[in-house]
Structures are given as structure tokens and as C-alpha cells.
Amino acid sequence: MAQTMQFDLVSPERSLASLQASAVQIPGAEGDMTAMPSHAPTITTLRPGVLKVESPDGNSEYVVTGGFAEIGGDSLSVLAEHAIPMAEMTRDQMDALIEDAREMYKTAKEEDQPHGLVEDAAKLLADMEALGTHMSL
């Protein structure tokens, strides 16, 4: 069994990480999970949260707002809607993410979207607010 796997994290703005990782904690839409080398192939969607990477060179954390993770046994690729290294996260950035979620929820309600879309927007807003509270920003 391999001790590390290739980990890549990209967002539309930039590539944030490409390294060997021993474990990655993923904020999955259906629940948090930890991917390790030789993990069964899986694709999951992400919810807003903190993605935690353990590697031989040290640990790192990233705030993600959604996207997809593809686990392929000896590799893990995360395609995030937005991703920011935790060390770079500011209160202004968190406020902007929460405000975007609030606008999506407001628009979904005003445009009389199907109930499921309104619920999804409400869940996104709640997740973003909880993330801001968790991060003490």
C-alpha cells in the first residue's frame, strides 16, 4: 500500500496545490470523509467547509465553497468553485462569500424557483454562515 497519493486542488482562479498527501479530509455534501492512499475510486460533491491536507512536508487547510472531488486510488483531484488557503482568508473575503450565498437565496425565493432550489440556496447560506462562525472571522 502506498504511503502517499497525488493531491491536486484547483479553482477557476488558480491551481492551489499539487503535492504528495498522506490523507485529505473532504467536506462532502453527503458528509465529511477522509481520503487516503488506495482509497476506493469515488466522486463526491463538496459543501462549503475546510479541506485539510496531511502531507510529509506538513499540513495545510483550504476554505472551499463547493465543487467536486475525484478519488482515484493513488490520486485525489479537487475542483473547487472557490478555494482560499486558510492562512490567506480574511474577514472581508468571508463576508463576500456569505453575501453571495445570501443573494443566491434571495434570488431563488423572489424568482419563485422550484422548492428544491430554494432549499439548496438556503442550505448554502447556512453552511457559509456556519463556516464563518467556525473560523471565528
Distances (CA, A) of 73 to 1, 10, 115: 10, 19, 37
Asked if residue 11 and residue 25 are part of one domain, the reply reads: yes
User: What is this structure's pTM?
Assistant: 0.82
Q: Which of 68, 86, 104 is the last residue of a domain?
A: 86
Tell me, what's the pLDDT at 136?
65
Residues of the chain where predicted confidence (pLDDT) is lower than 50:
1
Asked if residue 17 and residue 59 are part of one domain, the reply reads: yes
Q: What is the domain extent for residue 18?
A: 5-86
Asked if residue 101 and residue 78 are part of one domain, the reply reads: no
Tell me, what's the pLDDT at 1?
47
Count how many domains the chain has: 2
Q: Which of 53, 68, 86 is the last residue of a domain?
A: 86
**Side-chain half-sphere of 27: how many Cα atoms within 13 Å?**
19
